[in-house]
Amino acid sequence: MARPSRRPGRLPAEATSFVGRRRELAELRSKLAGGRVVSLVGPGGVGKTRLALRAAAGLGRGFSGGAWWVELAEVRDPALVCNAVMSALDLRDQAATEPLPLLLAYVRDKELLLVIDNCEHLLGSAAQVVNEVVASAPGVRLILTSREPLSVPGEHVVPVPPLDLPPAGSSGSLVQLRQNEAVALFVERAAAASGSFELTEGNRRAVADLCRRLDGLPLALELAAVRTRVLGVEQIVERLADRFELLTGAGRAALPRHQTLETAIDWSHDLLPGAERKLFRSLCVFAGRFTLEDVEAVCGERDSLGLMSSLVDKSLVVKEDARGVASYRLHETIREYAARKLYEAGETDAAHEACTDYYFTRCASTALEARFHLVDWLAWNDLEIDNIRSVLRRCLVTRDSVRGIRLATALGWFWVTRATTEGVRWLDEMLALGPGDPATIGWSHFIRGFLGVLQGDWVSARPALERAVVAAQDAGDQMQLSHALSMASIAENLAGDHAAAIRLLDAAHEVASGIDEVTTRVAVLQARALNGVFEGDFEAIKRAATEGERLSRESGDGYSLHQMLLNLGGAAMFAGDLVESKRRYDEALSIAYDVDDRIAQFYLLGAFAALAALDGHARVAAKLLGAAETIRIGAGATVMQVLAPFFAMAEDTAKTALGPARFQADFDSGRAMSREAAVRLALGDAAPARKADKAEPEILGKREADVARLVAEGFSNKQIAARLFISERTVDSHVRSILNKLGFNSRVQIAGWFRVTETV
């Protein structure tokens, strides 16, 4: 049986099937009822995570805001603890607000249970976040797991020992033995592993002896249970006994528990064939989840699927799905063990260098094209971000400025839509290391300035964009130069220097006129449209945005398209054409929802509220304003001054129609809405499914359906590989699998079949 999902966010529907730990559960519930913070404390491998999940699954129903899971095992940077909590709560670092104030603003009036797992390597940062949450949010309760207490005020500690052991000699009835926690866990895992294992009179003594030898440590019991596929329990006990004898010597005291666990892992490790052993120790370079393609590239294994399947079967690797994509991770105790084995083999530096080179190359090679298939690109980054952060940290520690700066720059669209403040921090730290690559450093300063503009931080945005202009001129890169000048024009307009904005816009237009490149032209048009907003020239907005919409649509640039549609919707609203305005906003909101751009969703819901108010739907307007406010707080945004009239007009009109009390009630109702429900209300129909979650023909897996769609659109294997960020060899494998599943022998048949399924 696989361990329960540990992905951050809402708790899994079934935290665990193992029933036990009644004493610790009762103590945890009692202490949480009388306090705000309970820490489950014990060494690695004793089952703190499983206990926390089970407790939260039962207690979460008592909180109106539910229970939420925060995973810190994959976080290596203390500065990112708050980001991990925000991510679990589905908040977005997408504006000027630092993560901690943003988190506190969101939880201040919430009633929810927050479970923070694996705090031990980040005690100081975790304690700071916990302290601030406790002080700011009286309705929040916290369950923490750690190898030692966090020592925060009001912390209640519940020690988590190993499972209760069966009595010596396995006395008592078989029914009584089955009720022992260590025995129950071993039997459950052995039955799941072998498909037929059960506790009998014949094996009861061996099972009890095994549980005692493994000190009731859940992780050790799981590793041993897997061996029941090929060995009897008596054989497992005998082989473990031999290994323990080598370490303790005859007559010596039993091993300390941490050595018992290591011995159990050692035994599983030493039984691996050579290729599996080599792959296993290499996997520790991944800080977070990883895919088969990652393993192939970083670890250099050709039979990755077979080897990974075997390691999963042996409970050394955990498999889980992330939005339909199979991914893997290591239990934190197993990762520590694998890292020691990698060091002992003398392969640490080479393995980490292979990991750094892979993520650097992959991100850098897709940076400029990312905007044309942003949904797929962001989905890959969402899955891999912990690994990429680890590589960024390695570049910082080793002072690898060239790769570090380029990697932080290549993640530009991720920072823009997912983690603006974090992106600023990485870029500032990397740019302080050294000069970087002269050919691309202009883009680095451009992204830094872009993030400053999104934050409304003109103090940092202006000099960054000035450096981008100089670097682009030094490199002789006209495309870089035009982008930098266009963004600098936007920055000056937002900062209030309209004369400087016009001067920079004219310069950007002059440079762009000599370049036949779509993103360069779109950047100038966006600056021109925003300039029209500041001048109140709605015809200028319409002219620039209409051309920008055409170019963005033709090139598949969804981010720019939804910006242009937002501009066109605003121009139509001010012209009194509410039908045209709604048509533009409908498409813009669908794209913003698909890309999951929270800032755009906030502004667009505000725009829909204004439309509803003007059209006499005051209650809808009030609810949309409330929903927009929730998204604004969750993203840390502030209302841009030039767009504030939208919100003020919608609020004033709705409040006048409804009266203050009714308006507030509907506003609060909107605040409690999910984003999906708010989008549904704005669009007036079912919320659009994200492309990443769209239902596909059931006969194919998620990735196969993606490949089939692109085959139907006429893409070659090489083009599909670039579009989906996978190897060409993997695409070929998917195509062959599709042909086999459908009974076809040509790509033409795949294309025809897919078109039919899309119209059914």
- Please write the tens of the pLDDT for every residue from 343-359: 999 999 999 999 999 99
Residue 158 near residue 27 (C-beta atoms within 8 A): yes
**What SS3 class is residue 327?**
strand
Confidence class of residue 17 from pLDDT cuts 50, 70 and 90? low
What is the SS3 assignment for 54?
Answer: helix
The string of pLDDT tens digits covering residues 710-728 is 888 888 888 887 777 677 7
State how far the alpha carbon of 746 is from the alpha carbons of 508, 708, 709, 717, 736, in Å: 49, 12, 14, 13, 10
| pLDDT of res. 292 | 92
Residue 38: its pLDDT value, please? 95
* 3-state DSSP assignment of residue 689: coil
Is 146 strand, coil or helix? strand
Closest to 98 (Cα-Cα) out of 462, 354, 457: 457
Cα distance between residue 130 and residue 93, in whole Å: 19
Indicate whether 729 pLDDT > 90. Answer: no
- Return the structure tokens found at 217: 């440590």
What's the pLDDT score for residue 284?
96
Residue 112 pairs in a beta bridge with 140
In the three-class reduction of DSSP (H, G, I as helix; E, B as strand; rest coil), residue 113 is classed as strand
Asked if residue 617 has pLDDT above 90, the reply is yes
| pLDDT for res 688 | 45
Higher model confidence: residue 637 or residue 427?
Answer: 427
Domains and their CATH numbers in the chain:
9-159 (3.40.50.300), 168-270 (no CATH), 274-346 (1.10.10.10), 450-683 (1.25.40.10), 695-759 (1.10.10.10)
Helix axis angle, 644-658 relative to 598-614, nearest 10°?
40
**Mean pLDDT, residues 127-143 taken together:** 96
Tokens at 422, concatenated:
């974090």
Looking at per-residue pLDDT, the higher value among 704 and 30 belongs to 30
CA 754 to centroid of chain Cα atoms? 30
Alpha-helix runs per DSSP H in 35-180: 48-59, 81-88, 99-107, 123-136, 174-178
Quick one: tokens of 618? 């005051």
Q: What pLDDT shows up at residue 612?
A: 94
Mean pLDDT of 168-175: 75
Banded model confidence at residue 756, pLDDT cuts 50, 70, 90: low
Query: Is residue 11 packed enough to be buried (19+ CB in 10 Å), middle (13-18) or exposed (0-12)?
Result: buried
Rounded distance between C-alpha atoms, residue 506 and residue 525, angstroms: 11
Q: What is the pLDDT of residue 263?
A: 86
Can you give the pLDDT at residue 96?
67
Which residue from 258, 245, 318, 322 is spatially nearest to 283, judged by alpha carbons?
318
pLDDT class of 686 with cuts at 50, 70, 90: very low
pTM here?
Answer: 0.84
Residue 248, amino acid = T
pLDDT in tens, 268-324: 999 999 999 999 999 999 999 999 999 999 998 778 889 999 999 998 999 887 777
Q: Answer whether 493's CB lies under 8 Å from 455's CB.
A: no
Cβ-contact 81, 72 below 8 angstroms: yes
Q: How would DSSP label each residue in 344-399?
A: HTT-HHHHHHHHHHHHHHHHHHHTTTGGGGHHHHHHHHHHHHHHHHHHHHHHHHTT
Which pLDDT value is given to residue 12? Answer: 54
